[in-house]
Structure 1
């Protein structure tokens, strides 16, 4: 459970999770063994203090406290690395994921031998039209550019078998895009659908700019199509310039028209300069990721960690 400034939601979230665990216990007529791994992703409010207070009441709670905010992807990775369960559930602590689906997820995992039970939001209520538009465009572009098929509305909230978690952890990339990683590893999966749930309290840490950068990360991490598009763009521009040069030569030789001077020259220079910068920018994005990968920096740093009590 990644947490970033969720102090207003944690108590309620914890109680709701406990309620769902109790429902599972009643349905199965036995007590299931479980642990709760909270990742404090550099929160600036009193999220950590609330987590520590909850841990004093429940020895099944484990807290991973980052030295600073490393982002949700790092928090997901840390949680998966510290989970040794037969089944792991990933869920945000902002109460926008339907916790009441947890018993259903567990039942399908046990009875149907499904490796991954995912949750999909079927509407975009609560989002601005601009944000919804760009979100839909991202999924369409992603499907065009990548071999990984991402369904719109699928959340990070899901149940995964230990085999799935182990497969995910084999991917040692520094820039992680979990939505695509979950699809890339394969395994059998089913989807449970739900409608929009408003945020219980607080504000989201995902601004439009952060989501935009996250989307670019996803497109580049699982596709080399931008590099191919850069080649096509460069080839097309060069071919067009060659055709235009032939037209100018024929126009001058056959009709005796003067070659247009400064304005046309400036348009050509500006156009090709823009093409070159676009291509260099695309190449630079990939080189930057290679540079950050080879430095072999950790995805996160734990400031402290409370161990599970025996």
Structure 2
């Protein structure tokens, strides 16, 4: 019989936990297999942990309750939950229920067919304030344009995967990285399931603008050499500009258009030095990037399946 784990990171969700448990209980009857819930309280500032310690002893589903020693962030909490999950298939969902918990059923059903390895929720609508919609839209447009173009337009807030994918992601063991980025980096077969994001009923989102910027920077510096490429491009374009401007300055100096002593050579030196430094920094940065890539310890390739027919042939 297949086993299913649902990982729920908890931070500032004390108000929504009773409703969440009720809805999770309702999911169990629709899943053909054993189900467990793994709660990871990321040192929540409210009494989320106390609420769970009070409610879980009488909860009718197998559960794990894990408490972080301090606030490490939602992605660290998800990673902790995935490490402790025992199911053949693992889903990750938020405790605020803005992503419908019932979406997990569709995830597990898709994974149980063994035709896909990863299922992600694709947000088709969101009942959020206008400013939140705009900032989120800008963030994910940049993310899709420069990091992972294949990611859904609204990003990924809820997903599920099989044990093979979970093991590969956890084996990477990278800090200051993007868990969703790693989920896309490992490859495998993916499918998207549409859903509508619901308004938050309890508490306040901890996904602040600062955290979004930090997340974007972690993704940029862990999955692309775009900044270095831009640096070299600026330096090369500046070099061309320097050459053209230098010719103009030299002609003006020779023809008497520049009479200030030392102006022409000073301008040429400044322009040439500035853009030469940019190109040099870009080249050195590419070597540093390659060294950084090697320190991550990511494999060169990941094998999804392997079939061995040698024994049959040798008979």
TM-score norm. by structure 2 comes to 0.77
CA contact (8 A) 1:54 1:61 kept: no
Stretches of structure 2 that go unaligned for 5 or more consecutive residues are 1-7, 298-315
Cα distance in 2, alignment partners of residues 230 and 221 from structure 1: 17
For residues 155 and 25 of structure 2, what CA distance do their matches in structure 1 show? 24
The residue that corresponds to 2:108 in the other structure is: 106
Matches within 5 A, 1:121-270: 121-129=123-131, 131-146=132-147, 149-259=150-260
Does structure 2 retain, via aligned residues, the 8 Å contact 1:87–1:160? yes
2:119 aligned with 1:117, yes or no?
A: yes
Is 1:5 the counterpart of 2:5? The answer is no
Bigger relative CO (Cα 8 Å, ≥ 6 apart): 1
Deviations 1:72-100 (A, max 9, x none): 11111111111121111100101111112
Q: Secondary structure at the match of 2:121?
A: strand
CA-based RMSD of the aligned residues comes to 3.6
Kindly tell me the number of residue pairs found equivalent between the two proteins: 285
| Runs of 5+ consecutive residues of structure 1 not aligned to the other structure | 26-31, 295-310
- Offset at residue 15 of structure 1 (A): 0.8
Per the alignment, residue 312 of structure 2 pairs with none
Q: Which secondary structure state, in structure 2, belongs to the residue aligned with residue 67 of structure 1?
A: coil
| Partner Cα distance (2:96, 2:196) in 1 | 16
Q: Which moved more, 1:138-147 or 1:170-179?
A: 138-147
Distance 1:108 1:197 in 2: 23
Any idea what SS the aligned residue of 2:40 has? Answer: strand
Whole-Å separation in 1 of the counterparts to 2:183 and 2:103: 19
For residue 46 of structure 1, report the CA deviation from its aligned partner.
0.5
Partner of 1:14: 21
Taking a change above 3 Å as real, the CA distance of residues 254 and 137 of structure 1, as seen in their structure-2 partners, is: farther
1:127 shift after superposition: 4.1
CA distance in 1, matches of 2:141, 2:157: 19
- Secondary structure of 2:207's counterpart equals coil
Q: Deviations over 1:1-50 (max 9, x none)?
A: 1111111111111111111112335xxxxxx3221111110111111111
What is the aligned partner in structure 2 of residue 57 from structure 1? 58
Contact 2:140 2:154 in 1 (8 A): no
**Residue among 93, 96, 121 paired with 1:94:** 96
Q: 8 Å contact 2:9–2:74 — kept in the other structure?
A: yes
Does structure 1 conserve the Cα–Cα contact (< 8 Å) formed by 2:137 and 2:154? no
DSSP 3-state at the match of 1:92: coil
Q: Which residue matches 2:313?
A: none
Give the Cα separation in 2 of the matches to 1:195 and 1:160.
21
